[in-house]
Structure 1
């Protein structure tokens, strides 16, 4: 356990999600060697690295990981093998009894729209479409879940986490790009202050700039900056959107980070880990819509996982191990337990 916890700090203190030498980042090349017109770029891991400079946050991370490992080991030990228990025969969570006593988790959501033009002042319909996408993706009711290949079908999971929009804030600003220093989260800096971070998830929708689609704060950080940030053109599934990130999966990906999921490839080479036992090892992000199977580190990449970098239309599952990791935050004493309302 001590070795695992120390590896958490080491793995993420030295590897960057968009600057790793194994990634092409903004000059992304897909598995067929073709230049991509647009590549997903998430800043969550860089934000995490910055947070790790704080010794208090380092200690909090160790405490969270220790609790997560205890919960996950117990959770997975209670799971039936895929396909056991009757039901629809698809394997995975839909046919198995609960592995914890938490029940369905309900997270209230505040959305803060900060805009410098009419396009960025996204409509209520666009906001509502994003909440619908989150609920479909986290409850495995998304229509494309049926595309999960048979190799991983038994792992595709209903996380039993859902979201409820409770408030929308709109603020006009002359600022056209906000960057990643959390200025949008502060009224003193022209943004919007966080609302009830202990009992609700906050989402800031504003133009980040630098080609970054979004970023999140991992659990254990400052309450004043807790939440996720997404560009308006990547938020929701209708309205002002930019393909190929126009199906609301950027928010799904960032909420995964907010709930303590790492990138599927562990942000490094084959010996890096995302601390989820049922996601295959990989040494790179995948981009675009990779062909199946895509193989790295002598195993098939789970390219369709929400925590990879593929286009919105090509990501459509969380794994059972990821479900356990997220739900651990809501167990008794869990760092996000108070969000469940």
Structure 2
């Protein structure tokens, strides 16, 4: 599962739903931090983007439907209290949301733009650990640390966190309290393997529709924060390009937008075109 090579992002041109309220995504903050730590990161990311664009053009000419990519997921739960030690059922509800969103199996899928598509990417809990032993794909660690921030400490055993499983074989997700009102963040392709993956707050991981008694905070209780961050993990930027009308998100069929939209603001126009407010990114 080498995301810099297999190009899982090619089909991720449109993932449709709305954000009802502002989400605090720290992926760009983490990217800025990583670029300061790693001077070669920007060049590697540019190379990946060039490869992506070339691959998109090739696949448009030779696309074969029906080849499903399945990504094994390991969830590292790091908790300082019983609420943060979320249940297996809450975790599985998040995997279901990811599969519904990326495979376009939502009940309201017909309400999205024509660009919406089944990405032919799905997710499953890992069943074998890096040592070849059976696993349910969940690790749990108690910690006295109550807030982890966005500098990847939760990904390092030396700093009280949990080291990732082989990032060429698993999508690693750390579920822990980030703090500062941040819901989640992800590392873009091109970064270090030692920090590769997605981080989500425990009360934003999972969906209220998947069961009862879950530790979730409305309105971010439908699992779409993780969908958004996995999009970043697969090389998708914010649809507004993290800038004004002159800044690109590198996806040709998403209209230019000057900022994020919140709520169901259908018909909102910026940059001379109607904003794609249903887009998860």
Same fold (TM over 0.5): yes
Instruction: Kindly indicate whether residue 84 of structure 2 is the aligned counterpart of residue 125 of structure 1.
Output: no
Partner of 1:186: 156
Instruction: Kindly indicate whether residue 34 of structure 2 is the aligned counterpart of residue 65 of structure 1.
Output: no
Partner of 1:211: 181
Instruction: Kindly indicate whether residue 121 of structure 2 is the aligned counterpart of residue 161 of structure 1.
Output: yes
Partner of 1:56: 40
Within 5 Å, which residues of 2 pair with 1:1-341? 39-53=22-36, 54-77=38-61, 99-100=63-64, 103-148=67-112, 153-166=113-126, 167-238=137-208, 239-287=214-262, 289-307=263-281
Between Structure 1 and Structure 2, the one with more helix by share is 1
Displacement after TM superposition at 1:147 (Å): 2.4
SS at match of 1:221: coil
Q: CA contact under 8 A between 2:66 and 2:120: conserved in structure 1?
A: no
Q: CA contact under 8 A between 2:33 and 2:151: conserved in structure 1?
A: no
Distance in 2, matches of 1:55 and 1:100, equals 38
SS at match of 2:108: helix
Q: Given the superposition, is the C-alpha separation of residues 199 and 70 from structure 1 closer, same or farther in structure 2, using an over 3 Å criterion?
A: same
Q: Stretches of 4+ moved more than 3 A in 1? A: none
Displacement after TM superposition at 1:103 (Å): 1.8
How many residues of Structure 1 are paired with residues of Structure 2 in the alignment? Answer: 247
Displacement after TM superposition at 1:291 (Å): 2.5
Q: CA contact under 8 A between 2:95 and 2:124: conserved in structure 1?
A: yes
SS at match of 1:302: coil
Distance in 1, matches of 2:68 and 2:140, equals 30
SS at match of 1:193: coil
Unaligned runs of 5+ in 2: 1-19, 127-136, 209-213
Partner of 1:13: none
Distance in 2, matches of 1:108 and 1:139, equals 16
Distance in 2, matches of 1:300 and 1:242, equals 31
Unaligned runs of 5+ in 1: 1-36, 79-98, 308-341
Using the size of structure 2 for normalisation, the TM-score is 0.84
Partner of 2:14: none
Partner of 1:23: none
